[in-house]
Amino acid sequence: MADTNVKQEIDARGSACPGPLMELIRGIKASGTGDVVAVLSSDPGSNKDIPDWVEKIGYELVANEDHGDYHRFVVRKSK
Amino acid sequence: MKDKLNVIVMNGTVDKLLAMATIVSGAVAMGKEVNLFVTFWGLMAFKKGAWQDPSQQKLPAEYQEFGPMMQERMQSMGINPWMQTLMTAKEIGEVKVYACSMTKDMFGMELDQMEDVVDGEKGVAGFISMCDDAEVLVF
């Protein structure tokens, strides 16, 4: 599982748009190339926003797990 | 898509300020450079501490009845105050905030009376000259 490599896990549950994405960007900025960062979000908008952002920036969305009342997005800073 | 977004912040009501700060956040997330030109009632909202002072937070008259409901929903949904959202955007990306010189003088305000997110002041010609290669929004 890619999970074992998660370097930082950010709990942004309870925060609304654009909070979880901003938290993820903050975490990714502080990470090195190749690092994997996970963010938890209970904001339904994140389910569109975070994959859109990852695609635009050109990183890799390793996983988007549905945990019912929140999603867990795992992102690799691939470049 | 241009990689620069310039925003004229003219209104000082929290609905527009919140939408502005959120859109600025989206723009920096997508790698855009953002410049704000803050004028008229918008500039008043950048006065130090105004965003934290309930008596200085305004809604347009026609939506005033929604004020208490909005405040409650913002709290229960975890929506940050607009200034905090703008500060985060500035921390994450390239956001510059310029006070309109004329408005500043009209209101008798000094730069040090404004929130620290304000980088400086510009006249209208100075701001327009930054817009050649930018998309421009008015809030």
- The residue segments making up the domain with residue A64 are 2-76
Count of Cβ atoms closer than 10 Å to residue B91 Cβ: 14
Burial of A51 (0-12, 13-18, 19+ CB in 10 A): middle
Residue B118 confidence (pLDDT): 98
Residue A2 confidence (pLDDT): 46
Chain B CB within 8 Å of residue A64 CB: no
Chain A CB within 8 Å of residue B61 CB: no
Show Cβ contacts of residue B122 under 8 Å, excluding neighbours closer than 6 positions.
B37, B98, B99, B100, B101
- Which chain B residue has its CA at the smallest distance from A50's CA? B29
pLDDT in tens, B5-28: 999 999 999 999 999 999 999 999
pLDDT in tens, B68-123: 999 999 999 999 999 999 999 999 999 999 999 999 999 999 999 999 999 999 99
Number of domains in chain A: 1
The alpha-carbon gap from A14 to the nearest alpha carbon of chain B, in Å, equals 6
Residue A4 confidence (pLDDT): 59
Q: Which residues of A are known to be catalytic?
A: 17
CATH of the domain at A26: 3.30.110.40
The ipTM of this complex is 0.85
pLDDT in tens, B45-68: 999 999 999 888 899 999 999 999
Chain B environment of A48 (Cβ under 8 Å):
none
